[in-house]
Amino acid sequence: MTRRASRGTATPAGRPSTRAVGGSWAPLANADAHLIAEAAFGILERIGLSEAPPEVVELVSEHGGRKSDGRLLFPRALVEEMLALTPKTITLCGQVPDNDLTVGGTETHPGTGGAAPNISDLQTGDIRPSNLSDLRDAARLADALPHVHFFSRSLVAGDIPDPLDLDLNTAFASLSGTTKHVMVQASDPSHVLHIAHMCNLVAGSESAFRARPFLSLNINHVVPPLRFHAESALVLIEAARRGIPVHANVFGQLGASSPVTLAGSVAQTLAEALAGIVLAQLAAPGARVIAGPRPMITDLRTGGFSGGSGEQALATAMAVQVLRLWSLPCSVIAGATDSKLPDHQAGYEKALTVLTAMQAGAHLVTQAAGTQAGLMAVDFSAMVADNDMLGALMRTNKPPVVDETTLALDAIADVVRGEGHYLGRPETYARMRSDFLYPEVADRSSIADWQTAGATDMATRARQRAITILRDHHPSHLSPEMRETLLQAFPTLKA
Pairing mode, strands 49-50 and 71-73: antiparallel
Identify the helix (H) or strand (E) that includes residue 285.
none
* Cβ atoms of 203 and 170 closer than 8 Å: no
Spatial distance between the Cα atoms of 424 and 184, rounded to a whole number of angstroms: 51
CA neighbor of 202 nearest in space, from 175, 163, 164: 175
**Dihedral of alpha carbons 452, 456, 460, 465, sign:** positive
Task: Supply the pLDDT for residue 12.
Answer: 38
CA neighbor of 4 nearest in space, from 136, 179, 175: 179
Task: Report which residue type is found at 64.
Answer: G
Spatial distance between the Cα atoms of 307 and 45, rounded to a whole number of angstroms: 31
Please name every residue paired with 331 in a beta bridge, in sequence order, or none if there are none. 364
Q: What is the pLDDT of residues 269-286, one digit of tens each?
A: 999 999 999 999 999 999
- What is the radius of gyration, based on Cα positions, of the chain? 23
- Give the chain's residues under pLDDT 70: 1-18
CA neighbor of 169 nearest in space, from 135, 192, 201: 135
Dihedral angle at the C-alpha atoms of 450, 455, 457, 463, nearest 10 degrees? -100
Spatial distance between the Cα atoms of 157 and 136, rounded to a whole number of angstroms: 9
Task: Supply the pLDDT for residue 18.
Answer: 66
45 DSSP 8-state letter:
I
Task: Supply the pLDDT for residue 389.
Answer: 97
Task: Supply the pLDDT for residue 6.
Answer: 35
The ranges assigned to domains in the chain are: 82-397, 404-435
Contacts of 280 (CB under 8 A, 6+ apart): 86, 236, 237, 240, 246, 248, 287, 289
Task: Supply the pLDDT for residue 14.
Answer: 36
Pairing mode, strands 377-379 and 331-333: unpaired
Q: What is the DSSP string of 420-433?
A: S-STTSHHHHHHHH
Task: Supply the pLDDT for residue 8.
Answer: 37
Q: Where are the beta strands (DSSP E) in 205-271?
A: 215-219, 222-223, 227-228, 246-254
82-397 CATH, one of 3.20.20.480, 3.40.50.1820, 3.30.70.100, 3.30.465.10: 3.20.20.480
pTM of the entire structure?
0.94
Contacts of 305 (CB under 8 A, 6+ apart): 253, 296, 297, 298, 299, 336, 338, 374, 375
Q: What is the DSSP string of 339-398?
A: -SSSSHHHHHHHHHHHHHHHHHT-SEEET-SSEETTTTEEEHHHHHHHHHHHHHHHHHTS
259 DSSP 8-state letter:
-
Buried b or exposed e, range 290-300, using 16+ CB within 10 angstroms: bbbbbbbbbee
CA neighbor of 12 nearest in space, from 93, 95, 98, 97: 98
